[in-house]
Structure formats: C-alpha cells, structure tokens
Amino acid sequence: MSSLDAGFYFIEDENVPMHVGSVLVFDGPVPSYGDVIRLFLARMDQVPRYRQKVRTLPFHVGRPVWVDDDHFNVLYHVRHTAVPSPGGEDQLRNLAGRIFAQKLDDSKPLWEAWLVEGLEGGRWAIISKVHHCMIDGVSGSDMLQLMLDFRRESTLPEPREWQPAPPPSTIDLVVDGVRDAVATPVQHLAALPALARNLRSLNEIVDFGKSVLSSLPGTARRLVTRAATSLNGPIGPHRRWVWARANLAEIKQIRRAAGGTVNDVILAAVTRGFRDLLEKRGELTDGMVVRTMVPVSMRKANQHNELNNRVSAVLVNLPVGEADPVQRLASIRAQMDDLKSSRQAAGADVITNLGNFAAPTLMALGSRTAMRFPQQILQTVTTNVPGPRIPLYMLGRPLVEMFPYVPIASTIRITVGIFSYLDRITFGINADFDGVPDVQLLADGIRTGFDELVALAAEAAEAEVVDTRTGAAATPVAARSAPAKTGATATAAAESGAAKSGAAKSGAAKPARKPRAAKPTPSSPEPR
C-alpha cells in the first residue's frame, strides 16, 4: 500500500469513515438481484483488489498490505434493498445518506454495492461505496466499468473459478515491513540522480523554482485572508447528503460571455452556495472567503490501470464576501490561472510523496494526528470528476444520472463532489448531520449561482445584438463594471487579479437580473 493510501486507511474511525461513493440512477425495468450478482462476478477478475482485504502489522512496523480474502463472498458485498414505492428523490437521498454514514467492515474487502428498488417512474439505483485507500477520483471511472457498458447489448463472460492465494505469515510480513521501512527511503533517495538526469536542462529546474517562488506572495495572501471559520467544527457519525444539478450548455453560455474554464464557472456557482449559507446564518462579511482544497489528479495516461491514489491538491479562496457574481468568477479565474502557472499541484504531489520516507509507525501516528488537530485553514473540499460524454448502460438499462459522495474528516464539515456525465453536471454535497442542518441552502445556492450567471450572459448576448445593429462596440460580461469596494473587499479583489482581467473598471455596476427560482427536480433528463 502506498503512503497516501495508508494515510487514508489510518485516519479512519467511527466518526470518520473514509470511503468515497456514488448513487447511479437507471431507467427500468429493475434487474433481478441474481443478475446483478452475476454481473459483478463476471467483471471482478478485472480488479483483483475487490477480493482483497487489508492486513496491518504489529506496531505498524510496515505499511498495511493487501491479501486475498480466503472467505470472500460476493453476497456480503452486493446487497438488495428498496424504498417505499413510489420513492422520490428525498427517499433515495435519505437512504444513501444512512448507507454512506456507515463504516465499511475492515475485516472484509473494503467495498459495498446496494441495489435499490421502488423509485418513481419505474427507476432503480445502485449505491456504491469504496474505501478511499483503494481508489481515487479519476481511477474511480475505471472501477465503474465493473458495472457499466458503452453498449446497450453486452455479453457477460462466464465467471472464472477463483482461488485465494495463501496468506503470508505474520513473521514474513514483519520481516518484509522492516525491510520496507529501511529500504524504501533509500530507494527513493537513490532515484533522485536518475530523476535529475531525466530533467531537460538546468533552465527547466530554474524555471520551476522561479514559478514556485513567485507564487509564494499570492499563496501567503490567500492563507491569511479572513475565512469563514464558523464552517469548521467537530463532526459526528451521521451525515446529511443532498444534491444539485447543472448542465454543460449553460456553463458554455457563461464561458462565452465571461470567459474562464468549466471548473472556474463551477467554483463560482459553489461560491454562491456558500455565500447564501453564510448569509442566512448571519455570518457573512465583506471580504470573507471560504477556503477549499481542490484535488488534482497526478495520474498519467499510462497509469490508469494502477490501483492506488495519485492525487495532489491546490488551495482556492472562494470569494463569498463579494456581492457581484462576475467579480466572484473573475477572482476564481485569476487564482486558478496563478496556480496553474506556478505548478503548485506538482509541488503538493512532491510533499505528499515525502510520506514514502516516513517509517510506517510514524506515518500511522502522523496521519491520525494531522486529521485530529484543530485547524481553520480549510473549510471544505471541492472535487470534480469528469465522466464520459456517451451513454452508459448496466445490464441493458440506460444510466440516467450519477451523484458523488466525498467523505468529510477532521474539522471539515462539508465536502462538495462533482460528476459530469453526458451534458449534465451533478453535485453531491456531504455534511455532518448535527453541524450543518441547513445544508440544503448550499445546494439551492449552487443552483442559484448558475441561474444568475446564465441571466447575466443572456443580457450580454442581447446587448451584443443591439450593439451590432447600432454599430456600437459590445461590452463583454467579463468587463462589466462592478460595485465600488472598500476595506477587505478591495484587498481581495486586488489579490484575485480582477484588475488585470479588466473586471474592476470604474463606474456603477449594472444590477443583475433577479435570479430564477431553482428548477424543480425532473423525473427524467432534460432535453439535450
């Protein structure tokens, strides 16, 4: 097990189950439980980890190891349940929230799947749980291939006979663990000269160092900007899990008017959600930010079949204290551009991999201590997993939607997971049950964030048509003047680089069109 995977394993306890998950909703007819079992057995040879369990060593003299479960039974892991028919989205979310709150059995392979019947419209669902030490966000798409096909019609191979490998003895594991604790750091040190030889030139090293050093002032400003620390606090064993929706068409409309990437627009909508949450709590102030960790995949194209975590992260300040939606988007865009140019994600990956130099016992203690230590730097985690743009099927039934679950830990009470599938973006918001009873405000606010930006983009498109007819120069949304800022708000705007992008021009801001009400939950996908 890698150092990062071991860290995810070590920090788990009854209040902090460290699994990721998803809810996949399908159109009917509902398959039989036996067919689902046969599907898993037919595909399980592709991922041997699904038949392996974790074995730890005495005193953690070595990192945990994966061993075959000699009592593996697929019926224990694939389960069958139902909601009272006709079950709506609230019933499905509540069921999933209870299932996600339960810790996986660490004496077994660390995964579960639940077949859920009784949904309205003849639909059904799969609730999936996989421990974080087995899988990361991007390779998670590979795991879904256990269940999903790209064609409606598919032929399942006959399950092959499987025999578990003989378990290693404790003595052998201890000897290997001690050897690993001593040899692994030496191997990593020995690899440094080869790594240096693979670098293109000294100029490349110098450029990398300059880019990182030049980003330090901006990083320092981001870390000292006043954050909404009221979002931090202890967490309990129960969860509230809600979701929201958007689609790529409206994101593209916003990008045409205001610029930025898909991720920039998504983070701007998430910012509006946290702004509404804090405003309803009476805790919102000018210049306030919500600091989020954004995981970044470091997995290369030739590493998609490797069953371990290859993730790094960057820190982004969500400008919740900014009233103007265009300025919020400009601030996020400037930060993300700065983070990309400074290569901070690569730097974070290097720090993460330093865990390979730690003795396993110290790593176990360090992981637990780090996650228990009260901290106010981060308020949330926002992770975006891109999915396929083509339809997927399970046992011939089309996948309609899928919603992500990202665990909470330490004093971070809220996480936001994001999936894209076909032309739809779905948000799964996970929160501590007692600490965030108002989490639905966040989900509704995310939807409102998209609505207000779409409305502004539509206004800009209408104005452009009028300006074209009159011969006047059109003004893009990104250059729209914003309200005058004072104090901390002005500092935050200057930091974001909004002036650089032309977003802080003088003049009174044109009031935004009143946001549309959140769209009602559809019983079927919106027209594409």
Hey, which residues are catalytic here? 132
435, 238 Cβ separation under 8 angstroms = no
Give the CA distances from residue 301 to residues 133, 139, 326, 476, in Å, rounded to whole numbers and listed in that order: 21, 11, 35, 37
Measured between alpha carbons, how far is residue 247 from residues 262, 268, 275, 327, 383 in Å?
11, 15, 21, 22, 17
Tokens of 24: 């996949």
Name every residue whose Cβ is closer than 8 Å to that of residue 63 and which is 6 or more positions away in sequence.
Answer: 1, 2, 3, 6, 177, 180, 360, 363
- Report CA-CA distances (Å) from 336 to 257, 331, 365, 399, 479: 18, 9, 33, 32, 19
Q: How many of the other CB atoms lie within 10 Å of CB of 365?
A: 14
* Residue 181 CB contacts under 8 Å (≥ 6 apart), including other chains: 61, 62, 359, 360
How many other C-beta atoms lie within 10 A of the C-beta of residue 487?
10
Task: Tokens for 43, please give them.
Answer: 């595909």
Residue 285, classed as helix, strand or coil, is: coil
The helix/strand/coil state of 425 is strand
Neighbours of 483 (CB within 10 A): 14
CA distance 79 to 84: 17
Pair 314, 345: CB distance under 8 Å = yes
Amino acid letter, residue 376:
Q
Residue pointed to by tokens 């509540």: 94
The pair of structure tokens assigned to 444 is: 């509704």
